[in-house]
Amino acid sequence: MAKTYAIVGTGGRARMFYEAILGPHKDNSRVVALCDTNQTRMDYTNRLFVEELGGQAVPTYKAGDFEKMISEQRPDFVIVTSVDRTHHKYIIRAMELGCDVITEKPMTVDKEKCQDILDAVERTGKNIRVTFNYRYAPHNSALRELIAEGAIGTPTSIHFEWLLDTRHGADYFRRWHRDKRNSGGLMVHKSTHHFDLVNFWLGSQPDTVFAMGDLKFYGRANAEERGVFTPYTRTTGVEAAKDDKFAIDLTSNPVQKALYWDAEKEDGYQRDQNVFGDGISIEDTMNVMVRYRNKAVMTYSLYAYAPWEGFNVAINGTGGRLELMVRETSYINAGSTSTAEGAAKGIDLYHFPLHGEPRVIPIKHAEGGHGGGDKIMLEEIFGNATPRPGYGANHRDGALSILTGIAANQSFATGLPVDVRTLVKL
């Protein structure tokens, strides 16, 4: 019997899930309802179901009718892809009403909401699946397996550098993410992926975090310091923005037009805000040091105005070193199909034994989004694939990933190291 799903939040992030349910996994899974603050977005999603994905339109519910949706449709699972600061509300209420939950990362944005979710899991006995697709990318899986096999002995230190380019990176400064209250900043919204990978690779969890972060490139003050003056709040249809390399025109992309430009009349949300305007409260340049429970130490950096997209990671141990460099396809959310998001276009993995010749580790290239991990993860969630032990992330994994970022935000504010164990009761 097919499992049933209600989707909360029908913006660009939801597409990966409903494409999988209505596509390769339609025999096992079925969408029964949509929920959003915006009717126009839900209507567009229903048109996609019928006209592009070969499915049927489903009932729609405004956000205030969430409980009514659960009562009437009785889904087995609620998929949460709303604005990050609202995740906890839907996760907790869905579990209280008897549903298991699949949530987009981050699970939530601050320690209070995180504790509320953990308490609700204990209270209800329901399950949360956090969709850490990067775990399933073959190059990331290979790194975990090499460490587990003892290729570098006991891991002692990690250097991890993530680069967001001026297409993808800039996009966080156009959208709701630019307000830290919505997203927790990039330390939570974006870096939760990266912090989860380190937990996953090491089989450990963070103990102490010290961090520095600032807004150094985006925002009005930084632009004017460089002699760049952009006297507009948004960019679609603005003559003064036509030569702005950071501007987007929502009417030029049919998906963005339907999801955001046409829907703006309902809620006033502007998807094309000026990245060199006022009102940005998140950082674009971040450096973090983390000590893990197994005594390994990581230095991590993220910046959002790089000339290329991807990451470098080096893991040192008592028996050698592993180096992974991945170059990814840049993208703008809802700018194309979900299979293009974060696709790997270049992978190099090296093993340097402490004594012996270095070797190149061959990685079979996997097609699709987020390094090829999306398809593998979705087959496990919605299809018949046998779950890989240790790969599916639960509420505890979701908490441990965001707690590094939450601690980093606290360290930004205080200039002091943070004991992660003081943030929530796991």
pLDDT of residue 333: 81
**Which residues does residue 314 pair with via DSSP β-bridges, in sequence order?**
159, 323
Q: Tally DSSP H helices, then E strands, for the chain.
A: 15, 15
**Total number of residues shown for the chain:** 426
Q: Is 177 exposed, middle or buried (0-12, 13-18, 19+ CB in 10 A)?
A: buried
329 has pLDDT over 70 = yes
pTM of the prediction?
A: 0.96
- Which residues fall within 8 angstroms of residue 286, CB to CB, at 6 or more apart? 186, 187, 191, 211, 212, 213, 301, 302, 303, 408
Report pLDDT digits (tens) over 107-158: 999 999 999 999 999 999 999 999 999 999 999 999 999 999 999 999 999 9
In this prediction, residue 331 has a pLDDT band, given cuts at 50, 70 and 90, of: confident
Report yes or no: 104 and 192 within 8 Å, Cβ to Cβ.
no
pLDDT of residue 364: 82
Report pLDDT digits (tens) over 353-384: 999 999 999 998 777 777 889 999 999 999 99
Q: Average pLDDT for residues 88-101, to the nearest whole number?
A: 98
**Backbone phi, then psi, for 206, in 5-degree steps?**
-75, 145
